Homo-oligomer: A and B are copies of this chain.
């Protein structure tokens, strides 16, 4: 029903062979200037576009890269995607975005589909459910270029781009401590994720530095990283109902941060007087919140850009690459009112 224009249509119309037309269309040595002009003109006239599917089948590459993230409805990822696109387009690649919605099964389906769809490479940030990496390892072993960003796989040797989660978490926690908080809860993503592990370490290190014992009861995980608000409500309720109630929370996730604020509001708790909060989010509107939200912000756009540059370098490399590197970018702490103690916050 939908019939695209092919090289055959041009060949027939001009009484040439398809191979001549093909030669005229691309590059163009071995062809008379006259024929070339004729073909080019006619192609332009009937708006011919080469069929990339046929090209992919022939060349075994598609000039497109696949992106697998948990969700685009997440400030960090939507910004990272913009970074990815900015580089990809300028280098002549198309970007295909897919979401796993924090589901291992969807991640497998998406990655398999992208790979068999002849993407030239993959940019992956793991789902919070993912533990078995064989679906990725397979492809990687068979030579498909892959770069991880944000949520990386420890067991797969390839380029990786991450934020300095350890330091970001350390600074956020230290900031709460310096603001006078002592009982700092930590609300985070699935414990299997690299980002959760690194941020937990940073949190613990800051406590250690100030001789505050780590209290396991203060640590709460939301396996779906704030995608399911109900999960967040439960975790927050558990935190605020603890016998020795925390005076503050360090929340280590984008959706988790806003979800936590909503949950606290639903509990009827005032921030920061009842409980303070420092978030980990790339939201542009953290400053508009009531109270304005202290956040750790990641260079998401830049991370997307670097990951894409590394991926394209892998794709276009002549010889197999075996020397992989992990790039780490610094986070930034924005201090606002949600983490100021007592009197101060009232003045604000």
Classify chain A: how many residues form its interface, as a range.
35 or more
Contact with B along A64-108 (1 / 0, CB 8 A): 000000011101001101100100000000111111000000000
Contact check, A262 vs B290: say whether CB atoms are below 8 A apart.
no
Which one of A13-21, A109-117, A192-200 contacts B?
A109-117
Contact with B along A1-40 (1 / 0, CB 8 A): 1111000000000000000000000000000000000000
Contact among B49, B144, B261 for A2, CB-based, below 8 A: B144
A343 interface residue per 8 A CB criterion: no
Give the number of copies in the complex. 2
Q: Chain B's nearest CB lies how many Å from the CB of A150?
A: 16
| Chain B min CB distance to A18 (Å) | 16
Indicate which residue in B4, B71, B113, B258 contacts A116 across the interface (CB closer than 8 Å).
B4
Q: Does A213 have its Cβ within 8 Å of any Cβ on chain B? A: no
Residues of B within 8 A of A72 (CB): 72-73, 78, 81, 97
Give chain B residues whose Cβ lies under 8 Å from the Cβ of A138. Answer: 47
Residues from chain B with a CB closer than 8 A to the CB of A45 are none
Give chain B nearest CB distance to A253 CB in angstroms: 14
Nearest CB to that of A120 among chain B residues? Answer: B2
CB contacts (< 8 Å) of A75 on chain B: these are: 73
Q: Which of B85, B292, B320 touches A1 (beta carbons < 8 Å)?
A: B320
Shortest C-beta distance, A160 to chain B (Å), equals 20
Chain B residue at minimum C-beta to C-beta distance from A97 = B97
Assess the B287–A258 pair: CB atoms within 8 A.
no
The residues of A with any CB-CB pair to B shorter than 8 Å are 1-4, 47, 49-54, 56-57, 60, 62, 71-73, 75, 78-79, 81-82, 85, 94-99, 112-113, 115-118, 138-139, 142-145, 258, 261-262, 265, 283-285, 287-292, 320
